[in-house]
Structure 1
Amino acid sequence: MKKKMMVMKTMVLIVMLMMVALAGMGADSAPVQFIFGDSLSDVGNNNYLTKGIARAALPWYGIDIGMGLPNGRFTNGRTIADIIGDYMGYPRPIAFMDQSLDVDAILKNGVNYASGGGGILNDTGQLFVQRFCFYKQIDLFQGTQKLVKEKIGSEAADKFFKEASYVVALGSNDYINNFLLPVYPDAWAYSSTGFTNLLISTLKDQLTLLHKLGARKLIFFGLGPMGCIPLERVMNTNYTCQDSVNKLAMSFNDNTKQLMQDLSAQLPNATFQFGDAYNEFADLIANPLKHGFSNADSPCCRLGRIRPSLTCTPASSLCKERSKYVFWDEYHPTEAANQVIANAIIKKLSFRPLNAPPSAAAAPSNNTASSPATTSVAPAGAPSSPTALSPASSTTTVPFIATPPAPTPSS
């Protein structure tokens, strides 16, 4: 009888210890990131939207990351959020739609909700059929919170989400795939100033909601010179940048920067920062040779002489040196250009790697693009080196394996 009582007491003690462990899970874990955005930050969500047409599911997307296979990133390698996260030492957030995502993965890596074609407004990107706009991404985040709270409890979950970092990178589609296309009602209903005001007021509500849900440390990536992407250039008779489009980006940036300052002052314990690299990106486009690039006006991946080719496909030909091109396709920068943009943001906001002593932060270098032959980038969800600013200084170098047939180089 005494032995049976001892066994029962032992079992009760074990159950109590397990409950305490579950309640504390995530409370002392390393901080993670939650990323919201469009195709500049998407790491695979759209690949699961089978009816959508904005997908990076075919070669040669992803040729310079991991095993060189398409992974949902709309570029040849890492995104801006990838590069900054790697430098800071954050684990790579897993795409929300990834089938391997569970609560343990959320607590360990965070989540990326970014969706190609998505925008601040719900109507943006309708031509792509399926995509997650910002309100939908926030809705998915709320579902994530519910799962975490069910596993570790409300108190630990609240602490976990308040200690996390948040990245928001949206706005370009609201102009390029909404306001600037006459098939959308907004193109006729608003002036340029009125439309930008609509974006800012909507964004204010969305970021205020994120704060209510726990976001305390947030960075918003500003827009680049959208009028200089290859798609906009090719629609200009003299193949130059469209200044009117660039002015929209600058107006949006000025208003968003002020919004971040206002929200930081108004919302309790909020540190909302504006990541601005417009001037650096514009200088890269205007003076590519100064930055070690050779081409800043046409895509590296294109379908022969057909322009605009819109997307990169297995039938496309690749430029000889991907690290020398500013643009990967008609819309998106190469990893090398993303590195320049990320470095500018890191420097302006004085970012330091997590757990680094105050004197450890060094000025980032732009001379860090991945080689076409090798890559050292960890797969999504893998922890990265806290001091890794470039592929050469992050995780173990892995030979690049080209599973698809070799592309035909073009000049």
Structure 2
Amino acid sequence: MNNKNLPNLVVSIFPFILLTCLRPCNTTNPSSKKPEFRGIFVFGNSILDNGNNNFLNTALKANYLPYGIDFQFGATGRFTNNKNLVDHIGDILKLPLIPAFSNPQSKGVAISQGVNHASAGSGILDATGSNMELYNIGARKFAFLNIGPLGCSPMARASMRNKECNEALNYAAFLFNIQLIQMLDVITTQMPGFQSVVVNVFQITLEFIRNPSFGGFSDVSSSCCEVSEQSGGVLCKGGGSVCSNRTSFLFFDGLHPTEALYGIVATRAYYSNSTSEVYPFNIQRLAQV
């Protein structure tokens, strides 16, 4: 494979988001001082899935309303009401919507600025293998999205008597996130040129759960859509009811956030200078080093 034909940026998630520069990222537009990426590769799970599962033999799909109720193209397979996290990162990078890999039309010019491989239900081993392959063909700069506070999702709360957060699940996520950073520290010493950023989705999301008004939220515990019992309270019920004030809800279904949270996370991932939100620096800086 010719590395010169690959986009600069690769995004992957489960349970992290990965941004990888396959060529030097400090290439700038002569008229702008901001480093630019030419495209994005995406790997991961339902947080980033933009329609791959529509073409796969699986029950985990979001190609029906109310998913996509606010999206310009309707229900495309995104597990939220509008744009997902990678869409917002692409907006910041001034890139077009990245096509789904499984879509038969995703070929030729359509994938000249990247392609999205993310699939709902994919596992950590899938992502790990993809990441190593990317490194072997030249990937050197990575930004990982850690696990959010799963215990505070509507699905997890539903199993609690008091409907509060399941702190056991949150603690498990917290421990994983610590080990993620420790693992990256080791990898940095073993893989020449490897550089990484960790976006602390756990902390950012928990901030709004504890102080909803900080993000303009009024409901951080319920799902915006009516969830399906058949999905275990995770997915929206097809044709079911949906809240009207979607920008005020943190969660769209029993597990996945609304676009409102995705937009905040993407902005902080790129611009925040707080090491409690993105460590050791933000994605903008990653493009410069």
Q: Specify if TM > 0.5.
A: yes
Cα displacement string for residues 53-91 of structure 1 (whole angstroms, at most 9, x for unaligned residues): 100011111112223x11110001111222122112234
Percent identity of the aligned residues? 32
The CA deviation string for residues 180-202 of structure 1, in whole angstroms up to 9 with x for no partner, is xxxxxxxxxxxxxxxxxxxxxxx
2:242 is paired with a residue of what secondary structure? strand
Q: What is the alpha-carbon distance in structure 1 between the residues aligned to residue 40 and residue 6 of structure 2?
A: 15
Is the CA contact (8 Å cut-off) linking 2:45 and 2:120 kept in structure 1?
yes
Q: Give 3-state SS (helix, strand or coil) of 1:254's partner.
A: helix
d(CA) in 2 for partners of 1:262 and 1:24?
26
Map residues 15-34 of structure 1 onto 2, 5 A cutoff.
Answer: 26=5, 31-34=38-41
8 Å CA contact retained: 1:263, 1:272: no
State the Cα deviation string for residues 276-317 of structure 1 (Å, max 9, x = none). 121121011122123211101110001599996432234311
Q: State which drifts further: 247-256 or 285-294.
A: 285-294
Task: Report if the CA contact (8 A) 2:80-2:256 is conserved.
Answer: yes
CA contact (8 A) 1:94 1:109 kept: no
Greater per-residue helix proportion:
1
Q: 1:41 — aligned with what?
A: 48
Greater CA drift, 298-307 or 206-215: 298-307
Q: Which has the larger radius of gyration?
A: 1
Contact 2:251–2:257, Cα closer than 8 Å, also in 1:
yes
Match of 2:72 in 1: 66
In structure 2, the CA distance between the partners of 1:27 and 1:222, relative to structure 1 (3 Å rule), is closer
Q: Is the 8 A contact 1:218 1:273 kept in 2?
A: yes
- Report SS of the residue matched to 1:82: helix
Query: Who is 2:90 aligned against?
Result: 85
Structure 1 spans left out of the alignment, 5+ residues: 1-22, 122-132, 135-202, 357-411
1:102 offset after TM fit, Å? 1.3
Does the 8 Å contact 1:264/1:270 carry over to 2? yes
Query: How far apart, CA to CA, are the structure 2 residues paired with 1:237 and 1:290?
Result: 27
The answer to whether the Cα contact below 8 Å between 1:58 and 1:313 also exists between their aligned partners in 2 is: no
SS in 2 for 1:239: coil
Instruction: Report matched runs for 1:215-234 at 5 Å.
Output: 215-234=139-158
Q: What aligned pairs does 1:152-191 form with structure 2 within 5 A after superposition?
A: none
The partner residue of 1:52 within 58, 83, 87 is 58
2:172 is the alignment partner of 1:248: yes
Q: 1:308 to 1:102 in 2, by over 3 A?
A: closer
Q: 1:263 to 1:304 in 2, by over 3 A?
A: closer
CA distance in 2: counterparts of 1:333 and 1:319, whole angstroms: 14
List per-residue Cα deviations over 1:243-299 (Å, max 9, x = no partner): 010011111111112222332332122222222121121011122123211101110
Give the Cα–Cα distance (whole angstroms) in 2 for the partners of residues 62 and 101 of structure 1: 20
Partner of 1:76: 81
If the length of structure 2 is used for normalisation, what is the TM-score? 0.78
- 1:11-410 to 2 correspondence within 5 Å? 26=5, 31-49=38-56, 51-67=57-73, 69-106=74-111, 108-121=112-125, 133-134=126-127, 203=128, 207-302=131-226, 309-346=233-270, 347=272, 348=278, 349-352=281-284
Closer, same or farther in 2 for the Cα pair 1:252/1:309, shift >3 Å? closer
Tell me the SS of whatever aligns to 1:95.
coil
Q: What does residue 150 of structure 1 align with? A: none
